[in-house]
């Protein structure tokens, strides 16, 4: 790494890197300035319920010393851990922030962190296609900070923040195609698992689908099994590591499936306006769209962004580029919606997971990443050989990138200026005793259209008629205190007696029963879920409320406790998967030492199959020459030195391995420029 910065032009590269980082951070701060200027307000639209989904975590941990398993304040009681958007900050890098600071601070830092995560991942992924710092910076800003991200984040669609992890998935998967780096496939799986925990309800299925299609296409184009093996390892790893959350979500969906129709359709005219019209904000509607507000359709990338994607579609070539081109165009077609009954989206919408989704224009966001990579790879064919010897060119290329970033920030800034304007009352009295209520007891100073859940949590009052669950959810058994049918926080049915809650917390409730008749039911005024237990035994479902049968009369104590029943199976699965991730590489290294020979991939490890090595596939997967030297960990294990042959180290070897096909930059050169495999250009990478 140190030698890399001693090469000619290292000073220009260092300066370009610093300026690119400053530009990405500065653009992000500029876009988010409206919500970072005032840390006391709350977000509108969906932000109340999304904040409530997160607030359950610090509230449960800090006040009650419990994990966020159950959400008693939500709609009469609902699984927090088992909800796909519930407690998404529990297994999250943002957990310490939410535990230590106000929830408003946590939300803002999560939005900021989500953007920076995506920028870093996209930049590193782009660097595997080009040595240009400026072009990589351009793609990072184009993908992460475009108008769709701003519109979605501004209205509280916090799951959209998790698109920032998608480039990391493909980055690690791309590294796994190189000999000796197959372990990176497990890292790709770990990122997918993290997306499960963080509530990536749209980014995760779209990333998994894209990764699967990419693996199949790459295997076909490269005529190797390794891409399929890598995606299988990534998939198994993701399922194993995400099992504690994933199985709990599936258990909840089994009782309350979320199925929704999606017949939305747009045409090319609408698409062009969505991509290029400057007047994009929450209240704008530059062109008629099928349903919902403009936040579900706008995706401003500007004319420059559109031109870049078109150039990538028309001219990019190479195994990886062709694969990304096909996936990107497929996602664009799905983004157009149900324009035909045999169109991609209506067919995909019939499958599990995707049947719970709507607004197919959301596929356009990852399409920008995939097609943008094609543009980067195409431009690298012409640009990289020149930057290799004239690093100052890359510095000059930052000038148009700055212009593009300013234009994009001008549009993406507007939605955030309309987002965080809600204020809570100066004083919210917290009730000493938790009880269920029909409607929110507290409203924001200026009301929004959705009933607030977060403020009711501040007041320690449950809300039965709430926003945030499927409208078709029929499992409400809790009775509001205002209802004539209300019988108390706990009561006795099918017999005589009195019941009183003596201890209460979200996951554990103690009820003291007096003068009860034998066989009577004690009912806890909370929605039923199969994970509720009473004195260690499975609780009963009494009209969708939690109940227990008393064996004997008189006085007794019933302890109702909630613990996700799927964790008994999913935690061992998680530990086994984690053990394999750590143990297998350790075992392999020990085995190599015992053999006292140079380490070689185990049989089937490279999945190259008979008739050749993985050098050709490595040529397609490796970054451009010199990229590894400029970005730590972005390329091969050893940086290319100034005195190495053209092609640069391992990447050059991969290009040389494919010289049987002249002008292809190796059999599967990244850029595919004529003669690039011989000249050390991107084709030999």
Rounded to whole angstroms, the Cα distance separating 212 from 509 reads 45
Q: Residue 595 — pLDDT band, cuts 50, 70, 90?
A: confident
pTM here? 0.87
Beta bridge partners of 79: 70
Average of per-residue pLDDT values in the chain: 87
Contact 524, 554 (CB under 8 A): no
Per the CB < 8 A criterion, the answer to whether 617 and 177 are in contact is: yes
With CA atoms as reference, report the closest residue to 674 among 440, 443, 273, 385. 385
For residues 602 and 229, is the Cβ–Cβ distance under 8 A? no
**Is the CB of residue 475 less than 8 Å from the CB of residue 527?**
yes
CA-wise closest residue to 616 among 321, 222, 153:
222
Length of the chain in terms of residues written? 685
Q: Between the CA of residue 26 and those of 30, 139, 226, 394, 412, what are the distances in Å? A: 6, 16, 40, 19, 13
Tokens matching residue 120: 């870093």
Question: For residues 61 and 601, what is the distance between their CA atoms, to the nearest angstrom?
Answer: 45
pLDDT confidence of residue 381? 96
* For residue 31, pLDDT beyond 60: yes
What's the rounded Cα separation, in Å, for the pair 34 and 378? 37
CA end-to-end span of the chain, whole Å? 18
Residue 115 has pLDDT above 80, yes or no: yes
Give Cβ neighbours of residue 100 (< 8 Å, ≥ 6 apart): none
Closest listed residue to residue 497, CA positions, set 554, 559, 557, 558: 554
- In whole angstroms, give the CA distance from residue 490 to residue 479: 11
343/631: higher pLDDT: 343
- pLDDT per residue as tens digits for the range 75-96: 999 999 999 999 999 999 999 9
CA atoms of 681 and 577, how far apart (whole Å): 40
**What does the alpha-carbon distance between residue 48 and residue 35 come to, in Å, rounded to a whole number?**
15
**Quick one: what percent of the chain has pLDDT higher than 90?**
76
At 673 the pLDDT is 35
Q: In this predicted structure, what is the pLDDT of residue 625? A: 47
User: How many alpha carbons lie under 13 Å from residue 619 in its C-beta half-sphere?
Assistant: 33
CA gap 411, 431 in Å, rounded: 44
- Among 296, 283, 370, 361, residue whose Cα is nearest residue 327: 370
Tell me the torsion sign for CA atoms 655, 659, 662, 666. negative
Question: Which contiguous run of DSSP H or E holds residue 235?
Answer: helix 226-255
Q: Which two tokens stand for residue 261?
A: 């129709």
pLDDT higher than threshold 90 for residue 462: yes
Q: How many CB atoms lie within 10 A of CB 531?
A: 23
Beta strand 490-493 with 508-516 is: unpaired
Question: Alpha helices, DSSP H only, in 286-360?
Answer: 302-315, 319-335, 344-348
Q: What is the pLDDT of residues 322-339, one digit of tens each?
A: 999 999 999 999 999 999
- pLDDT recorded at residue 676: 35
pLDDT at residue 639, as a whole number? 32
CA distance 620 to 377: 11
Q: What angle do CA 249, 252, 256 make, to 5 degrees?
A: 130
Question: pLDDT tens for residues 536-588?
Answer: 999 999 999 999 999 887 889 999 999 999 999 999 999 999 999 999 888 88
H/E element, 436: strand 435-437
Q: Distance between CA 140 and CA 224 in Å, rounded?
A: 30
Element containing residue 557 per DSSP (H, E): strand 554-562
d(CA 89, CA 97): 9
- What whole-number distance in Å separates Cα of residue 135 and Cα of residue 379? 9
pLDDT in tens, 137-192: 999 999 999 999 999 999 999 999 999 999 999 999 999 999 989 999 999 999 99
Mean pLDDT, range 260-283, rounded to an integer:
93
pLDDT digits (tens, 9 = 90+) for 41-80: 999 999 999 999 999 999 999 999 999 999 999 999 999 9
Rounded CA Rg of the chain:
28
Distances from the Cα of 175 to the Cαs of 160, 621, 637, in angstroms? 25, 7, 10
Collapsing DSSP to helix, strand or coil, 19 comes out as helix
Q: How many CB atoms lie within 10 A of CB 484?
A: 6
Q: Is the dihedral of CA 56, 59, 60, 62 positive or negative?
A: positive
Supply 535's token pair.
């004195």
Distance (Å) of CA 242 to CA 1, 91, 246, 533: 35, 10, 6, 25
Strands 70-71 and 78-79 come out as antiparallel
Q: CA 169 to CA 166: how far, in whole Å?
A: 5
């Amino acid at each position: 790494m140190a030698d890399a910065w001693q090469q000619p032009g290292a000073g220009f590269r260092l300066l370009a890197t610093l300026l690119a980082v400053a530009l990405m951070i500065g653009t992000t701060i500029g876009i988010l300035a409206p919500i970072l200027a005032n840390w006391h307000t709350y977000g509108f639209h969906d932000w109340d319920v999304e904040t409530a989904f997160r607030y359950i975590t610090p509230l449960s941990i800090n006040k009650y010393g419990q994990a966020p398993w159950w959400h008693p304040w939500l709609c009469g009681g609902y699984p927090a851990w088992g909800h796909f958007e519930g407690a998404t900050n529990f297994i999250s890098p943002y957990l310490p922030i939410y535990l230590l600071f106000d929830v408003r601070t946590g939300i803002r830092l999560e939005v900021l962190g989500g953007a920076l995560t995506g920028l870093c991942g996209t930049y590193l992924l782009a660097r595997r296609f080009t040595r240009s710092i400026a072009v990589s910076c351009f793609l990072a800003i184009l993908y992460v900070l475009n108008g769709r991200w701003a519109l979605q984040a501004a209205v509280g669609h916090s799951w959209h923040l998790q698109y920032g992890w998608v480039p990391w998935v493909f980055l690690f998967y791309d590294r796994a195609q190189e000999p000796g780096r197959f372990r990176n496939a497990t890292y790709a799986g770990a990122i997918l698992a993290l997306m499960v925990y963080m509530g990536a309800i749209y980014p995760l299925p779209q990333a998994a689908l894209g990764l699967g299609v990419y693996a199949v296409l790459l295997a076909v184009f490269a005529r190797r099994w390794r891409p399929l093996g890598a995606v299988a390892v990534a998939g198994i790893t993701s399922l194993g590591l995400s099992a504690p959350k994933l199985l709990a979500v599936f258990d909840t969906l089994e009782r309350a499936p979320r199925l929704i129709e999606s017949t939305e359709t747009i045409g090319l005219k609408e698409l062009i306006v969505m991509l290029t019209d400057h007047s994009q904000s929450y209240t704008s509607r530059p062109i008629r769209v099928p349903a919902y507000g403009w936040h579900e359709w706008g995706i401003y990338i500007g004319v420059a962004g559109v031109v870049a994607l078109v150039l990538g579609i028309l001219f990019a070539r190479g195994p990886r580029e062709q694969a990304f081109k096909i996936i990107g165009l497929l996602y664009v077609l799905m983004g157009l919606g149900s324009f035909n009954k045999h169109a991609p989206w209506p067919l995909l919408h019939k499958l599990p997971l995707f049947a719970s989704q709507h607004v197919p224009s959301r596929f356009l966001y990852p399409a920008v990443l995939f097609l943008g990579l094609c543009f980067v790879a195409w431009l690298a064919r012409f640009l990289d050989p020149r930057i290799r010897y004239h690093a100052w060119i890359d510095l000059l290329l930052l000038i148009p990138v700055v212009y593009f970033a300013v234009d994009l920030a001008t549009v993406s800034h507007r939605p955030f200026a309309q987002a965080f304007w809600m204020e809570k009352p100066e004083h919210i009295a917290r009730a000493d005793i938790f009880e269920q209520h029909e409607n929110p007891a507290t409203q924001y100073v200026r009301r929004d259209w959705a009933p607030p859940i977060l403020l009711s949590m501040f007041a320690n009052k449950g809300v039965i008629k709430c926003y945030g669950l499927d409208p078709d959810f029929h499992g409400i058994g809790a009775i509001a205190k205002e209802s004539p049918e209300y019988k108390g926080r706990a009561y006795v049915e099918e017999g005589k007696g009195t019941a009183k809650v003596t201890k209460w917390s979200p996951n554990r409730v103690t009820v003291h029963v007096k003068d009860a008749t034998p066989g009577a039911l004690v009912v806890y005024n909370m929605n039923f879920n199969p994970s509720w237990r009473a004195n260690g035994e499975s609780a009963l479902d009494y009209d969708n409320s939690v109940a227990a049968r008393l064996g004997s009369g008189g006085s007794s104590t019933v302890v109702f406790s909630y613990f996700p029943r799927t964790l008994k199976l999913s935690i061992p699965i998680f530990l086994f998967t984690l053990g394999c991730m750590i143990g297998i590489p350790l075992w392999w290294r020990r085995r190599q030492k015992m053999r006292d020979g140079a380490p070689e991939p185990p049989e089937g490890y490279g999945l190259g199959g008979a008739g050749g090595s993985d050098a050709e596939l490595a040529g397609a997967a490796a970054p451009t020459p010199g990229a590894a030297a400029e970005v730590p960990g972005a390329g091969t294990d050893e940086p290319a030195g100034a005195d190495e042959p053209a092609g640069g180290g391992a990447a050059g070897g991969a290009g040389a391995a494919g010289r049987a096909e002249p002008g292809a930059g190796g059999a599967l050169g990244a850029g595919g420029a004529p003669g690039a495999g011989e000249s050390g250009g991107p084709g030999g990478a």
